[in-house]
Structure 1
Amino acid sequence: MRRIASLRLYAVLALMAVVAATGVVLSMPKASAATGSATGYATQNGGTTGGAGGQTVRATTGTAIHAALCNRASSSTPIIIQVEGTINHGNTSKVSGDSCNTAAGVIELKQISNVTIVGVGRGATFDQLGIHIREASNIIIQNVTVRNVKKSGSPTSNGGDAIGMESGVRNVWVDHVTLEASGGESEGFDGLFDMKNDTQYVTLSYSILRNSGRGGLVGSSESDRSNGFVTFHHNRYENIDSRTPLLRGGIGHIYNNHFVDIHDSGINSRAGARARVDNNYFEDSKDVLGTFYTDQAGYWQVNGNTFDNIRWSSRSGDTNPAGPNPQSNTSVSIPYSYNLDSAACVPDIVNRTAGANTGLRVSDGNCTPQTPGPTEPEPEPTDPPTEPGPEPTDPPTGTNLSIGAGSDGSSKASGTSYGDVRDGDMSTYWSPNGSTGSISIKWGSATTISKINIREAAGATGNIGSYRVLDADTGAVLASGNGAGVISFPATSVRKITFQITSSSGTPRIAEYETYAR
């Protein structure tokens, strides 16, 4: 007993030393992860709760934020980090530990999950220091300001992005933040809010993005189409050249935002992206919606928007604005509930609610600001219960609809191909570039599917662990389970259906991804 007591005392003393060195202040009672609850696509895929239920830690330096992450029992132990003061290069150092992967000069949320960072007290400002989210999930960032992050000049941080996400990021809610620069790329700045390389289920709400050349993008290039299911609502985009946002592939839901003084182009839907644009207010701007700077078209559904003093270019070459009379050229189904404010009141309601240090007020859907209470109990996940898949001895009947269809997916291993899963040849296959990834079958028009058959290549049987089957048009989860074989679900009309591998015991190799109507 004395030895145990001594060890506990030693641990406490060691922790106190870390606290003294880094500026971490521990608060033992549990508290809500943030004020209010996630909205938009961040509510899908199991929901976004951040560090709810975890320990609360107060941090006044970037090093303290990293230390809080590194002092957890594991990289997935929930934690709420309350931040106050100015976080900058001078107080942000790398901290090492088994539960973190940090770096100096940037707030690094890498290979972790279940974290909330929330500004408290007199406010939190990340000055010339970006927030980098990589290979992470279930993250909340709320009530902070990130300003003047540079990719060139001095000092540099996070590739010039205020908040940047990449490489297998899932379920991020960024709420009531202010993201700002002091110029464009020639002045050393890049995007304010960027997502790339398989980033999905993200919501940006009640935030201000201003004074930048680039608002943000979803997809880093025309071939980076593994991102999507992103919601932007009740944000103010002001004094920005372009990318409010730029969408490459995937689905974006953009509603109740105020766009003012957009200089070159606004919502840029391209490379097959599909944007639903509801009840926004566009003011004193140019070419606020369309496909720009590419010959690879994107699509939009428009409802209830106000266009106030908008200048539209003539269509020519790679300039294809939606105006002067924007019309829908696609249809986008939204899988979550939401309340739309009238576009007429959007400038007022956004002005009274958006940004850091505004009291975290939100709209009630009737153009009236409300102050939300503490986070409600965690909602039930939207995924179906995970159960073992059906036995592969119960084959589907009818025609394999994958033959003649198209296919794409997340990054692929060298020497493999997306097309190999629909060629009827068991000797060819697709593998992800890692232990997890996704592969999709797609058609030019809606196709009814009720069964798929995932057939692993020789020598890789049993490598697939857990999976999810997604309606890629809406993000809805049709089925989940473990292992390959025949997977059944209620008949669903889809244009693209995704098989997502979320764990594996070895390198997955999918030889055939068959799809059937029954």
Structure 2
Amino acid sequence: MRLYAALGTTAVAAATGVVLLMPEASAATGGVTGYATQNGGTTGGAGGQTVQASSGTAIHAALCNRASSSTPIIIQVSGTINHGNTTKVSGSSCNTAADKIELKEISNVTIVGVGGGAVFDQLGIHIRDSSNIIIQNVTVRNVKKSGSPTSNGGDAIGMESTVRNVWVDHVTLEASGGESEGFDGLFDMKDNTQYVTLSYSILRNSGRGGLIGSSESDTSNGYVTFHHNLYENIDSRTPLLRGGIAHIYNNYYVSLNESGINSRAGARAKVDNNYFRNSKDVLGTFYTDAKGYWQTSGNILDNVTWSASSSENNPAGPGMASTTTVSVPYPYSLDGASCVPGIVGQTAGANKGLQVSTGNCSVTAGPATTRPATSAPVTTRAATSAPATTRPPTTTAGATTGAPSGTNLSIGAGADGSSKADGTSYGNVKDGNISTYWSPSGSTGQISIKWGSATAVARINIRLAAGSGTITSWRVLNADTGAVLTSGNSNGGVISFSRTSLKKVTFEITGASGTPRVGEFETYAS
């Protein structure tokens, strides 16, 4: 069998951090739905060589040393990819840059996170003049267009200039603010980008979720499907659609602060069975007199407010009546909107085990993303099997009972607390990521999960992040009334109490050795 010959010698591979494996099927080759199934379909690097990379330079080397720019390749990525380990690599089959992951003038590529996860830190992914691309199971965070360092015009994932057939799946895209803090869009498409699906992903903490079309005259984009995604704490653009067609179904929107789905310049959006919560102006034409259109069905509005109509604002609410009809050319299954918060909470984002909805309000496990145990590396680097990308165990030291089952009610809820240590955030305890956390400013403090309406809770699971101090005593409070639901002295873990209907539950740390790091504050109905 011909190996990835153009990568050259063992010395080259070792220098770039690339490990070559025997050909295998990618975890991402099956399961795509939506518009990415059209125009010939989206298969990424299926059937091609599999390469492992732990740096941006290694990713570029894998692209540049293919036999041609269209030779299929699957790049399994692990670790943190940043400016420090990403350089330009030259070759006949690529066109790369040092300040971003550049997928330019290429085709038939899969980038998939494996092992303990892949994080693109302050480094965006740029797709230009390319086709048949899959990006799966990665986190892209804090990409800036101003300040330092800058990357990809401030977009976490950006596509432009004749891009076709892209599937982005089970990714986490996040910023730490809006344009004034140096960030731009999380998921942008412009200048003739078509046949794209974004599925089972998290987009959060950004001024701009994403756009389709960079201006009112850039209407050559479209045929984009958004399904089973979580949009949380976004000011606007979920997405902004200029021209073209978008199918938007089974997404969970929480805390859209200014506006949500913005259909304008003749765009048409099919908006089915989504759940909108604690948000403003979730659908309409905003900030322009160039109207767009929508077809709506089965959506749930939970504490949604609406602006008055004006010459440049045409909100769809409160009735959300359809203004057009949109037909889609592919089959799909709809979860009921009432199930969407739970389904999205279990499935969306990186490192969730690639779980997907069955289409009837239940979840099935996705494919494993680890390399096969039989894969043999070509270099002298040791061959080790990477662990699965499933979510970390739900138990921690000091657990008081077995791991809870059911939906984690904290996903999509709000969070607040007492003073927090520098660099930590209340929202980190409900993002599904054990590596991000909240810490009190000292050794004691409070962290709370809150909902817009009364929610029944009977168990919480306090999962501590690595490096946490030891919690020696705590209380669980009904923050609505101040009542103590239970107390104890374990170091986090699963805590049970009488099922209580409340809008806010508080975990109060009353004693600790060192500074606690609460990675996840999970809540369950039973």
User: So what's the TM-score if we normalise by structure 1?
Assistant: 0.70
- Residue 69 (1) aligns with residue 74 (2): no
After superposition, give the CA deviation of every residue in 1:255-284 in whole Å (9 maximum; x if it has no partner).
000000000000000000000000000000
1:373 is displaced (CA, Å) by 4.0
1:15 is displaced (CA, Å) by 2.4
**Alpha-carbon separation, structure 2, partners of 1:109 and 1:62:** 12
**Alpha-carbon separation, structure 1, partners of 2:40 and 2:96:** 27
**Alpha-carbon separation, structure 2, partners of 1:367 and 1:270:** 32
1:252 is displaced (CA, Å) by 0.2
Verify the 8 A CA contact 2:7 2:65 in the aligned structure 1: no
The alignment partner of 1:186 has SS state of helix
Which of 40, 47, 69 is matched with 1:46 structurally?
A: 40
Which of 159, 184, 189 is matched with 1:195 structurally?
A: 189
1:306 is displaced (CA, Å) by 0.3
After superposition, give the CA deviation of every residue in 1:320-342 in whole Å (9 maximum; x if it has no partner).
10001110010000100000000
After superposition, give the CA deviation of every residue in 1:220-269 in whole Å (9 maximum; x if it has no partner).
00000000000000000000000000000000000000000000000000
1:312 is displaced (CA, Å) by 0.3
| Aligned equivalent of 2:319 | 325
1:17 is displaced (CA, Å) by 1.8
Which of 295, 299, 302 is matched with 2:293 structurally?
A: 299
| Aligned equivalent of 2:306 | 312
Which of 11, 14, 20 is matched with 1:26 structurally?
A: 20
Which of 115, 125, 142 is matched with 1:121 structurally?
A: 115
**Alpha-carbon separation, structure 1, partners of 2:65 and 2:220:** 33
Q: Match of 2:110, as an amino acid?
A: T
**Alpha-carbon separation, structure 1, partners of 2:28 and 2:169:** 10
The alignment partner of 1:25 has SS state of strand
| Aligned equivalent of 2:224 | 230
| Aligned equivalent of 1:266 | 260
Q: 1:172 to 1:215 in 2, by over 3 A?
A: same
After superposition, give the CA deviation of every residue in 1:142-193 in whole Å (9 maximum; x if it has no partner).
0000000000000000000000000000000000000000000000000000
Q: 1:190 to 1:358 in 2, by over 3 A?
A: same
1:33 is displaced (CA, Å) by 5.2
1:13 is displaced (CA, Å) by 9.5
Alignment: residue pair count = 367
The alignment partner of 1:139 has SS state of strand
After superposition, give the CA deviation of every residue in 1:71-114 in whole Å (9 maximum; x if it has no partner).
10000000000000000000000000000000001000000000
Q: Match of 1:58, as an amino acid?
A: Q
After superposition, give the CA deviation of every residue in 1:402-438 in whole Å (9 maximum; x if it has no partner).
xxxxxxxxxxxxxxxxxxxxxxxxxxxxxxxxxxxxx
**Alpha-carbon separation, structure 2, partners of 1:239 and 1:160:** 18
- Residue 355 (1) aligns with residue 342 (2): no
| Aligned equivalent of 2:88 | 94
After superposition, give the CA deviation of every residue in 1:489-518 in whole Å (9 maximum; x if it has no partner).
xxxxxxxxxxxxxxxxxxxxxxxxxxxxxx
Verify the 8 A CA contact 1:36 1:372 in the aligned structure 2: no
Q: Match of 1:163, as an amino acid?
A: I
After superposition, give the CA deviation of every residue in 1:294-315 in whole Å (9 maximum; x if it has no partner).
0000000001000110010010
Q: Which of 92-101 and 25-34 deviates more?
A: 25-34
Verify the 8 A CA contact 1:33 1:116 in the aligned structure 2: no
1:30 is displaced (CA, Å) by 2.6
1:38 is displaced (CA, Å) by 1.4
**Alpha-carbon separation, structure 1, partners of 2:180 and 2:26:** 42
Q: Match of 1:57, as an amino acid?
A: V
The alignment partner of 1:291 has SS state of strand
The 5-angstrom pairing of residues 299-448 of structure 1 reads 299-373=293-367
1:372 is displaced (CA, Å) by 3.0
Q: Match of 1:224, as an amino acid?
A: D
Q: Match of 2:338, as an amino acid?
A: A
| Aligned equivalent of 1:454 | none
Q: Match of 1:114, as an amino acid?
A: N
**Alpha-carbon separation, structure 2, partners of 1:355 and 1:156:** 24
1:371 is displaced (CA, Å) by 1.1
Q: Match of 1:271, as an amino acid?
A: A
**Alpha-carbon separation, structure 2, partners of 1:52 and 1:35:** 6
After superposition, give the CA deviation of every residue in 1:373-407 in whole Å (9 maximum; x if it has no partner).
479xxxxxxxxxxxxxxxxxxxxxxxxxxxxxxxx
**Alpha-carbon separation, structure 2, partners of 1:197 and 1:330:** 25
1:12 is displaced (CA, Å) by 8.8
**Alpha-carbon separation, structure 2, partners of 1:263 and 1:373:** 35
- Residue 255 (1) aligns with residue 265 (2): no
Q: Match of 1:137, as an amino acid?
A: S
User: So what's the TM-score if we normalise by structure 2?
Assistant: 0.69
- Residue 151 (1) aligns with residue 148 (2): no
| Aligned equivalent of 1:175 | 169
Identity across matched positions, percent: 80
After superposition, give the CA deviation of every residue in 1:179-211 in whole Å (9 maximum; x if it has no partner).
000000000000000000000000000000000
The alignment partner of 2:132 has SS state of strand
Verify the 8 A CA contact 2:241 2:263 in the aligned structure 1: yes
The alignment partner of 2:9 has SS state of helix
**Alpha-carbon separation, structure 2, partners of 1:30 and 1:259:** 37
Q: Match of 2:282, as an amino acid?
A: V
| Aligned equivalent of 1:491 | none
After superposition, give the CA deviation of every residue in 1:432-459 in whole Å (9 maximum; x if it has no partner).
xxxxxxxxxxxxxxxxxxxxxxxxxxxx
